[in-house]
Amino acid sequence: MPCLSYVEVISPLPSRRLLQNSASKQPYSGLFFFLGSLVILIILVVLILILCKFFKPGKLRALIGRTAKPQGTSDALSVHLRTISYFNFHTLKKATKNFHSNNLLGSGGFGPVFLGKLGDGQLIAVKKLSVDKSQQGEREFLAEVRLITSIQHKNLVRLLGCCSDGAQRLLVYEYMKNRSLDQILYGKSNIFLNWKARHQIILGIARGLQYLHEDSHIRIVHRDIKASNILLDDKFQPRIGDFGLARFFPEDQAYLSTAFAGTLGYTAPEYAIRGELTEKADIYSFGVLVLEIISCRKNTDLSLPSEMQYLPEYAWKLYERSRLIDLVDPKMREDGIVEKDVMQTIYVAFLCLQPHANSRPPMSEIVAMLIRNVAIVETPTRPAFLNRKRRNDKKLSWDTITDGFPSPLQSDSPSK
């Protein structure tokens, strides 16, 4: 008990010393906090003065805008581990020389495409989406860009970035050195393609479509397969352009926004007549394009004799007369061809042009036939034609097709 009394008397002494030491340190902590805050404030003021001195207010706002915009939309632009670039509108305007007509690469229903050159010398192709037809807001636009960016294949044109500035919607693609296929096929270029190069192009297009239709994580129907939408790189490898762009437009304007009269020859009958759109419509267009590549001419040319004006019809007449070799580009025949390979490729085109959509093979089978992994056992039937007797009718439409075309929706065989 005396020990306890002794402890009670002396125990408060250490606590009193601790309180005194703590109280003596408080002024120093406050001083350090004040000095640190003062130093940070001085540094910020100096940085602001430097920025104001070397950057004009307009340039400073543009700099802040360029850095803030990607951060605000980074979630929308990210695709797995890959993000695309967000381009400032003024950067693209400068790269294309204010979208000068001399830089115009082409124009389609989705909008014109301009050649651009960035500050580092990189060449780009800038597509201005038609503002009056696209009714998407920025969020929807960026969501679709993210979706398209996720679709990557060696035979598809790569999307580098985009720009959304007010009502402006722009897409930035890699630039293809050898431009579009139509420049070569329709005599706008002096480049000659031998059979090996043409077969490579046909096969590459088929593989690109196979990816869009069957192998991609989302199904894409291109809707506008034609020579001007096939771009060629420096090794003449084909890249399909404009895939997925119909997603930026209302459903009722997605195809009719194109120059329909100019692409009528590529259009599948069930799509043109009834608006029934499946992958089979792309396959029909591919068949027409194959005939163009082999013959080196447009699918419709009213300057030619009557029976030669519409390419699929003319090709079928030659087939019936056992003179299909006459369809082949004379220059390519002079250069030398493997006739058996060319004839097999034409047969594949005929299978793609079958009037009934369900009769057309899927792209995976077409690729197999083109690389001769499988034999062609099916005999093609007469393709869909326009009625030549009414060719001069100004109101010409697919309603003048000679044969009836049953709807795939009414067929017993399922559409693939």
pLDDT level of residue 248 (50, 70, 90 thresholds): low
Q: Is residue 380 a part of any domain in this protein? A: no
Same domain, 167 and 233: no
Q: Is residue 407 a part of any domain in this protein? A: no
Give the residue with greater pLDDT, 406 vs 352. Answer: 352
pLDDT tens digit sequence for 67-107:
444 443 334 334 333 456 889 999 999 999 999 999 999 87
The pLDDT, as a whole number, for residue 286 is 97
Among 174, 200, 224, where does a domain finish? 174
Same domain, 136 and 255: no
The pLDDT, as a whole number, for residue 155 is 96
Q: Is residue 391 a part of any domain in this protein? A: no
* CATH code, domain carrying 277: 1.10.510.10
Give the residue with greater pLDDT, 335 vs 405. Answer: 335
pLDDT tens digit sequence for 266-310:
888 888 888 888 899 999 999 999 999 999 999 999 999 999 999
pLDDT level of residue 23 (50, 70, 90 thresholds): low
Mean pLDDT of the chain: 78
Q: Which of 46-60, 177-191, 252-266 has the highest mean pLDDT?
A: 177-191
Q: Is residue 267 a part of any domain in this protein? A: yes
Q: Is residue 1 a part of any domain in this protein? A: no
Among 174, 189, 219, where does a domain finish? 174
- Is 70 exceeded by the pLDDT of residue 407? no
pLDDT level of residue 250 (50, 70, 90 thresholds): low
**What number is the average pLDDT over the span 188-202?**
93
Q: What is the dihedral of CA 325, 330, 332, 337, to 10 degrees?
A: 30
Same domain, 162 and 187: no
pLDDT level of residue 336 (50, 70, 90 thresholds): very high
Give the residue with greater pLDDT, 100 vs 147. Answer: 100
Give the residue with greater pLDDT, 269 vs 18. Answer: 269
pLDDT level of residue 153 (50, 70, 90 thresholds): very high
The pLDDT, as a whole number, for residue 135 is 54
The pLDDT, as a whole number, for residue 101 is 92
The pLDDT, as a whole number, for residue 54 is 60
Give the residue with greater pLDDT, 223 vs 132. Answer: 223
pLDDT tens digit sequence for 225-245:
999 999 999 999 999 988 877
- By annotation, the residues acting in catalysis are 224
For the chain, the domain total comes to: 2
Give the residue with greater pLDDT, 139 vs 282. Answer: 282
The pLDDT, as a whole number, for residue 252 is 46
pLDDT level of residue 58 (50, 70, 90 thresholds): very low
- Is 70 exceeded by the pLDDT of residue 65? no
Domain enclosing residue 210, as ranges: 179-371
Q: Which of 95-109, 202-216, 364-378 has the highest mean pLDDT?
A: 202-216
pLDDT level of residue 247 (50, 70, 90 thresholds): low
The pLDDT, as a whole number, for residue 353 is 95
The pLDDT, as a whole number, for residue 271 is 83
pLDDT level of residue 55 (50, 70, 90 thresholds): low
Q: Is residue 62 a part of any domain in this protein? A: no
The pLDDT, as a whole number, for residue 305 is 94
Q: Is residue 396 a part of any domain in this protein? A: no
Give the residue with greater pLDDT, 384 vs 192. Answer: 192
Q: Is residue 404 a part of any domain in this protein? A: no
The pLDDT, as a whole number, for residue 226 is 93
Same domain, 225 and 109: no
The pLDDT, as a whole number, for residue 273 is 83
**What number is the average pLDDT over the span 114-122?**
94
The pLDDT, as a whole number, for residue 349 is 97
The pLDDT, as a whole number, for residue 131 is 64
* CATH code, domain carrying 157: 3.30.200.20
pLDDT level of residue 224 (50, 70, 90 thresholds): confident
